Chain A
Amino acid sequence: MNKVKMIFSQTLMVSTAILFGLGIQQLILYLSGIGDGKITWQWYIPLSIVLTGFLSSLPSLLLTCEFGGSKVKTVIVILLHFLMVFGIVSGSGYLFGWYVNSGEFLLIAVMYVIIYSFVWAATVWLMRSDDNKINKALDEIRDPE
């Protein structure tokens, strides 16, 4: 049940991130003077975002595996996760026509790296913040060594 919940919340998060990315892409195109400032989406685009969000959340199951505290394994799994999600996002982008040339693909790739790094940075910050709170609470009740 926990894993279903995790997939669901990840789907929502990734869908929002993709929507944000596409929004930024349109903003950049608009500011660059490319196009007429109007956006027209095919009927399947909103659904494709949710579908991509769902598919991108599946590699997160990798992160729930036990690594036995090994830093090397953790880094490898994160790298694998990064590549898998990137494969899904760029594959979906190609399939659903989010980009039509290599320039737009590059833009999506750069945005993906920025969003992925930002999400990890925020996650680590939240984790450390939680750790500090818990360790402070433990300090108050810990038995003497």
Chain B
Amino acid sequence: MKVILEKVSSDSDEGARIRAKEITDEIRAAADLLEGHGKKIPVTLKGEEMPTETLMISTDSIYYFESVDKRTYAYTRDECYETKYRLYELEDILGSNYFRCSKALIVNIRKIKTVRSEVGGRMMTELLNGEHIVISRSYVRDLKRKLGV
């Protein structure tokens, strides 16, 4: 397969298009890698002052990351973990399925059930686990761009 690498100037222009006669396992694996699937990050259970155990959890299972008092928490369907990464670091680590939705939150787009616009330009989202989070007005445009809307 011919591979063409092209340098672009902005993050929003980044993307990959794979053209193939057949979607094989290798191609799926390549797409997953590009989208950041299967990536794992080290976390500890929330609330442990002296964490005894570091767990590796798949970023696919994380619904959102939240920064509170200079600490970063990762929320899965039922659990909350703490991670050493800052949000700006996670933005680089995580794949294209993640999106900064406010100063303190990064959300997994694939875990959003519905969105609803609110007065003032914000958006209220309902996640698959029933939680609600707000997309700030200044980040709504980024979501639309990411989804190609």
Residue numbers of A with Cβ under 8 A of B are 2, 63-67, 69, 74, 77-78, 127-128, 130-131, 133-135, 137-138, 141-143, 145
B144 interfacial by beta-carbon distance below 8 Å: yes
**Which chain B positions have C-beta within 8 A of A65?**
120
Flag if A142 contacts B110 (CB, 8 Å): yes
B93 interfacial by beta-carbon distance below 8 Å: no
Closest to A75 in B: B119
B114 interfacial by beta-carbon distance below 8 Å: yes
Apart from the given pairs A64-B137, A141-B97, 18 other A-B contacts in the complex at a CB distance below 8 Å:
A63-B119, A65-B120, A67-B118, A69-B134, A74-B119, A77-B119, A78-B119, A130-B149, A131-B114, A131-B116, A133-B149, A134-B143, A134-B147, A138-B114, A138-B147, A141-B110, A142-B112, A143-B111
Centre residue among B112, B117, B134, B148 by max chain A CB count within 10 A:
B117
Q: Which residues 99-138 of B sit at the A interface, judged by CB distance below 8 A?
A: 109-122, 124, 128, 132, 134, 137-138
Flag if B119 contacts A138 (CB, 8 Å): no
Flag if A134 contacts B115 (CB, 8 Å): yes
Partner of B149 from the list A77, A134, A143 (CB cut-off 8 Å) is A134
Flag if A138 contacts B115 (CB, 8 Å): yes
In the A-B complex, list the 10 residue pairs whose CB atoms are closest, starting with the nearest: A127-B117, A137-B147, A63-B120, A143-B110, A133-B149, A64-B120, A134-B115, A145-B128, A63-B119, A2-B138
**Which chain A positions have C-beta within 8 A of B119?**
63, 67, 74, 77-78
Q: How far is the CB of A40 from chain B (nearest CB, A)?
A: 40
Given known contacts A64-B137, A143-B128, A145-B128, A138 and B112 CB-to-CB distance under 8 angstroms: yes
Flag if B137 contacts A2 (CB, 8 Å): yes
What is the number of contacts between chain A and chain B, taking CB atoms within 8 Å? 59
What is the interface of chain A mostly: helix, strand, loop, or mixed? Answer: helix
Q: How far is the CB of A74 from chain B (nearest CB, A)?
A: 5
Question: Would you list 28 pairs from A and B whose C-beta atoms are within 8 A, ordered by A residue?
Answer: A63-B119, A65-B120, A66-B122, A67-B118, A67-B119, A69-B124, A77-B119, A131-B114, A131-B115, A131-B117, A133-B149, A134-B115, A134-B144, A134-B147, A135-B114, A137-B148, A138-B109, A138-B112, A138-B114, A138-B115, A138-B147, A141-B97, A141-B109, A142-B110, A142-B128, A143-B110, A143-B111, A143-B128
Closest to B116 in A: A131
Q: How far is the CB of A92 from chain B (nearest CB, A)?
A: 25
Complex alpha-carbon distance, A137 and B99, angstroms: 15
**Which chain B positions have C-beta within 8 A of A138?**
109, 112-115, 147
